[in-house]
Amino acid sequence: MEYAIGVDFGGSSAKIGLVTRDGLVLARETAAIQSGASFETVLALVTQRLKALVAERPAGDRLVVTGIDMPGFIDKKDGIVVGGSENIPCFKNRSPQDYLARALGVPAFSENDGTAAAAGELLFGAGKQYSNFVLITLGTAIGGGLVLGGKVYRGSRGFAGEVGHICVVSNGALCSCGSKGCFEQYASGTAISRFYSERMRKRDCEVPEATPKIIAERARRGERLARETIEEAGRYIAQALGSILNLLDLEACVVGGGVADAGDILLEPVRHWLADYCWAQISQGVHVLPATLGNDAGIQGAAAQALERIEG
């Protein structure tokens, strides 16, 4: 049996696993990343853990490729992290894929985590039945990835899919990217929590713990301010997706990330508002659906993008 390695790097840990060609996760583990650790220290630790997992596989199994994903801008030619990786500063201007290819003896490919998520949904998840779709990941920030013509679209340098920085409010809130009015400032988990807290304070209400999960639960129970907050986020999501659909004429919009766990209470407003933000002929028949890979999405996405690239 052939399988791939998937490594999902975050600011404080790396999720690692072995993934078959049909998406089955054979083994998984989490390696803690110490703040301030060097590039070599982080990669040596991950390599050690991966070699241990590979050594446990039966003799007939064969490792074919290593896939890596992380936040940031990653040059698709050589895997060098050129920016946007502030939570893993030791990776700046370095190539994790080069290190792991040499250490593990198989090809390795690095990818932005949003693009990797799209690859995972294409090969193993909600995107299997579509040739053209956008995936957005709603978490603390907003990321995304594109699939066009049945293949992951990376752009000229590998930077495509930064949907979180589509402008949805002219001269709106300042974003960390330096622009104003970015989608991320209006529909991310951070934004949803902020808007809900602001609504509560304006009405002299006690502000509870305002995580997106709690807000969604309150909205399901019928709390008016929570429902207004979730519906407003849904409208901004529809606005961003409408712009993408007008440009690319896609079949589906896949919504993932922790905020998307809210389910239909978030997705129904998106579906309702979508036609207001793109041509009727373009929105007709477009499916808005949740991502399906869940907790293993990072590992599976990292492996999926590498499997796609080694075969293409």
HEC sequence for 223-275: CHHHHHHHHHHHHHHHHHHHHHHHHHCCCEEEEECHHHHHCHHHHHHHHHHHC
Say if residue 100's pLDDT is above 80. Answer: yes
Contact 266, 136 (CB under 8 A): no
What DSSP string describes 137-150?
A: EESSSEEEEEEETT
Listed residue (211, 193, 189, 196) closest to 138, CA to CA: 189
Tokens of 161: 């899919």
Whether the predicted pLDDT of 102 surpasses 80? yes
C-alpha to C-alpha distance for 238 and 277, rounded to whole angstroms: 7
Q: How confident is the model at residue 84 (pLDDT cuts 50, 70, 90)?
A: confident
Domain 129-291 sits in which CATH superfamily?
A: ATPase, nucleotide binding domain (3.30.420.40)
The ranges of the chain annotated as CATH 3.30.420.40 are 2-119+295-311, 129-291
| Residue pointed to by tokens 């399901």 | 220
Assigned token pair, 150: 């049945």
Q: Are 197 and 96 in contact (CB under 8 A)?
A: no
Give the CATH number of domain 2-119+295-311: 3.30.420.40
Measured between alpha carbons, how far is 216 from 192 in angstroms, rounded to an integer? 10
Query: What's the pLDDT at 312?
Result: 66
Q: Is 100 exposed, middle or buried (0-12, 13-18, 19+ CB in 10 A)?
A: buried
Q: How far is CA 171 from the centre of its chain?
A: 26
pLDDT band with cut points at 50, 70 and 90 for residue 105: very high
| Strand order through the sheet with 13-20 | 25-32, 13-20, 2-9, 62-70, 108-112
* pLDDT grade for 236, boundaries at 50, 70 and 90: very high
